[in-house]
Structure 1
Amino acid sequence: MNTSLLYGKKGLDIELPDRTKVIEPKHIPGLGEKEKEEAFQAMKKPTGQKPLKECVNANETVAIVISDSTRPTPNHKLIPWILEELNHVPNEQFVIINGTGSHRDNTYAELCEMLGKEVVDSVRVINNQAFDPSTQAYLGTSSTGAEIYLNKEYVEADRKIVTGFIEPHFFAGFSGGPKGIMPGIAGIDTIMHFHSAKMIAHPMSTWRILKDNPVQGEATEITCMAKPDFMLNVALNKEKEITAFFAGDVVEAHREGCKYVKEHAMAPCEERFDIVITSNSGYPLDQNLYQAVKGMSAAQKIVKEGGAILCAAECSDGLPDHGNYADILKECSTPQDLIDMINDPNYSKFDQWQVQKQAMIQVWSDVYVYSTLQAADLEAAMLSPIRNMEETIQNIIKEKGGQASIAIMPQGPLTIPYIENE
């Protein structure tokens, strides 16, 4: 059988044995020409909140938080629509804050791609500066003891808006909603606590779970300390087309969106597989190896212990070349050693959470990666590089006796696979 993985901007076609089980979300068509109409309807009739236009007076300052270039949120549509709905507010009273968290700044060219040149040239746009305390405001302490620092311009704005894309998330349950604020515009100390080894290792910090999920819980608690006045989130299909809008209260409307995504993304399986082939949902989600851990994590939910995960992620932005991710991977010689090191209370480095998740997957199964990265970079991360997908799959099948069970997740972590009896 021939199938295609979401990979980069063009996809990746591969030939697989006919017995391969294809696991993907139910397809929902995009809204097409109804997009704008539906967006304005959502802003006028939101969940748990007044209509957006009524939330903002003409003399007030407005901060709009967006997700960075590693997310496919269609802000080139959402932001112009929000500005149009708030056309009684002068452009100079807006600031758009790019929720980079601890990621690198996005460039002018990237911001133009994300927002449209007209918006970038007419409204002030800034990147969150997690490592610069002078750009952050202190809000107190969370119930788990985190010292809360959020972007000062956001905190001091008269009105606050957050946009986002709701998708399954490997330790927050779902993205979007509160996660646009926390960790999107948080300071590094707050981000570190949010991604602590204890939080990441918690059994409820996983796909599709919101209730009693400590990561989602802390994101929600911190967000509500400087709560947005309005949220506009979307759900997308595999073509990155908008299928639905969720607007209004950042908690209530987000939960509605999660329920919608969960209904379409859940994929039950009767048993685990020897081999699971996945992607990281294509560009922009597969820009680097750091992000590709999500695809590996989704596959781990249905692969046998000692099995093999094959992840196709283009990694056009490298490992990436910023942060501590690559350096932490080099500090130990085995995945278990990485886990033990990160679980040491005296160890603390930003990006350790992604290494921790990756190592937990690698302890469970072998992980192979097809990408544009150099083989040496993958081997340094204790991952097996793939030059040819079909050849690698056939070799693994032979190693496992010729009758290995195989599954493929063409859309990667846009799917939430699970084993029914587990």
Structure 2
Amino acid sequence: MDIPLGTGTIDVSLPDCEVTVARPAGGTPVDVRAAAERALEEPIGPPLADRVDPDDAIAIVVTDITRKAPDDVLLDVLLERLESVGVAREQVTVVVGLGLHRPMTDDEIVEMLGPHADLAVNHDPESVVDVGAVGPDGDVPVEIGEPVAAADAVLSTGVVETHQYAGFSGGAKTVVIGTGSESIIRYTHGPEMLAREGVRLGRVAGNPFRETIDAAGDLAGVDFSINLSYGPAGVLGVRAGDGRRVVRELAAVARDALSVPIDREYDAVVCGVGAPKDANLYQATRGATYVALGDRNPLREGGRLVVPAALPEGAGDGTGEKRFYRRLSGATDADSLYEAMREGYEPGAQRAFVVARVLREHDLYVTNSEAPDIVEECLMHAASDVSDAVEPGSDVLVVPDALNTLLVDG
């Protein structure tokens, strides 16, 4: 069977094992441009023309290279619609929502945004404006990048995909986290929030993480979102308008397409990731945590997770990735790391926290990578191939697209 690795695939053969493949229904793909144009014609809530004025300075926040999104198409359609209501191209700044990821290079921005790359700037987390506060006590500052805070209208693109904490990403998250400061990331990704009931993969309603992000988006002035959802077949839908409702509608589309019922336990799960998420260890470990910490953990006690990942960037070069690496590489075991991090950690290090949570119960093997030494330094195991990471005779579940599959009770 073929499993993603980088921009290609590898052929995985486990002849001595009993293998089950988890393949979601997949849904029906749509043409992105046509669906985006239709979404703008039939928005959820007031149309874009009612949300912007012809003389407005516009900020459009787009996802960065760690998200698989046709931002060039969404941006093209959005700019055409803005022009039709009297907003000139020169009035628009495109802000790349990095969060604590590394800045994108000029070449990467050109590759991502094509003819609109000249409008783009990377988010600078050191140059932010306080726009209010959230949290139960109203003491968590919401700080937004200066180009966004200074804009008369804030728009966003994004992907409504399964997310470990937000349930599904998209909506205000692109702006609040992508162009936010460490304060909101520290709060939303801290141990207290991540331990709360309802903060889990695939859940939007009653999710405190999602609710906090949406409230922060109101303070940031997010006026209009155009998002899409993915499935194995490709892009499944595009919606535009009010961010909360856009996320809810696309999450329902994604859930129908991505759910796979599980009615037994397995010795090992092979978690496919592929580009762009397998560029570094920080992102690639999502494959393992999405499986083990989702709605239904398919592993029996002591079972192992196997993630093929190219890792051309090693652990990762951004602030968050470096903090992730320092935490894991500096630990002696998963139990002590998890307990220490329950007392708090730096924004970005939350991925080390959830990985440690998984490693307390399961071994994690990363195979086929360019950085096996880094994998071994981070409390995980490196193997040259998937077959080397799975014991003969194992009962194996293969999830070819672990980031776009929801394992649920059968």
TM category (shorter chain) comes to over 0.9
Residues 1:127 and 2:122 are matched in the alignment: yes
C-alpha spacing 1:392/1:348, structure 2 compared with 1 (3 Å): closer
User: What is the CA RMSD across the aligned residues, in angstroms?
Assistant: 1.6
Residues 1:355 and 2:345 are matched in the alignment: no
Residues 1:4 and 2:2 are matched in the alignment: yes
What does residue 101 of structure 2 align with? 103
Distance 2:357 2:222 in 1: 35
TM value normalised by structure 2: 0.93
Q: 2:218 aligns with which of 224, 245, 263?
A: 224
Offset, 1:331: 2.5
Offset, 1:56: 2.2
C-alpha spacing 1:214/1:373, structure 2 compared with 1 (3 Å): farther
1:314-333 matches, within 5 Å, as 314-323=310-319, 324-333=323-332
Q: Secondary structure at the match of 2:173?
A: helix
1:28-77: per-residue Cα shift (whole Å, max 9, x none)?
A: 34324xx32221111011112x2223432221111100011000111011
CA contact (8 A) 2:311 2:371 kept: no
What does residue 139 of structure 1 align with? 131
Offset, 1:391: 3.2
Unaligned runs of 5+ in 1: none
Distance 1:289 1:72 in 2: 17
Distance 2:271 2:336 in 1: 26
What does residue 416 of structure 1 align with? 406
Offset, 1:203: 4.2
Distance 1:274 1:182 in 2: 39
Q: 2:249 aligns with which of 238, 242, 256?
A: 256
TM value normalised by structure 1: 0.90
Higher mean displacement: 364-373 or 76-85: 364-373
1:198-347 matches, within 5 Å, as 198-238=192-232, 241-280=234-273, 282-300=274-292, 301-323=297-319, 324-344=323-343, 347=344
Offset, 1:315: 1.7
What does residue 384 of structure 1 align with? 381
What does residue 173 of structure 2 align with? 179
Unaligned runs of 5+ in 2: none
Q: Secondary structure at the match of 1:160?
A: strand
Higher mean displacement: 15-24 or 204-213: 15-24
CA contact (8 A) 1:14 1:389 kept: yes
C-alpha spacing 1:391/1:146, structure 2 compared with 1 (3 Å): same
What does residue 66 of structure 1 align with? 62
Q: Secondary structure at the match of 1:153?
A: helix
1:176-214: per-residue Cα shift (whole Å, max 9, x none)?
A: 112112211111122111111111233422111112222
Offset, 1:8: 0.9
Higher mean displacement: 5-14 or 378-387: 5-14
Offset, 1:107: 0.7
Distance 1:76 1:339 in 2: 40
CA contact (8 A) 1:273 1:307 kept: yes
CA contact (8 A) 2:369 2:384 kept: no
Distance 2:287 2:395 in 1: 19
What does residue 148 of structure 1 align with? 142
CA contact (8 A) 2:190 2:347 kept: no
CA contact (8 A) 1:277 1:299 kept: no
1:281-301: per-residue Cα shift (whole Å, max 9, x none)?
A: x21122211011210012212
Offset, 1:250: 0.6
What does residue 405 of structure 1 align with? 395
Distance 1:111 1:182 in 2: 21
Distance 1:200 1:265 in 2: 23
CA contact (8 A) 1:6 1:412 kept: no
In the alignment of these two chains, the number of paired residues is 398
CA contact (8 A) 1:76 1:115 kept: yes
What amino acid maps onto 2:47 in structure 1? P
Distance 1:210 1:81 in 2: 28
1:219-257: per-residue Cα shift (whole Å, max 9, x none)?
A: 111112123211100112336x32210111011121111
What amino acid maps onto 1:415 in structure 2? T
Q: Which stretches of structure 1, 4 residues or longer, exceed 3 Å deviation after superposition? A: none
What amino acid maps onto 1:275 in structure 2? A
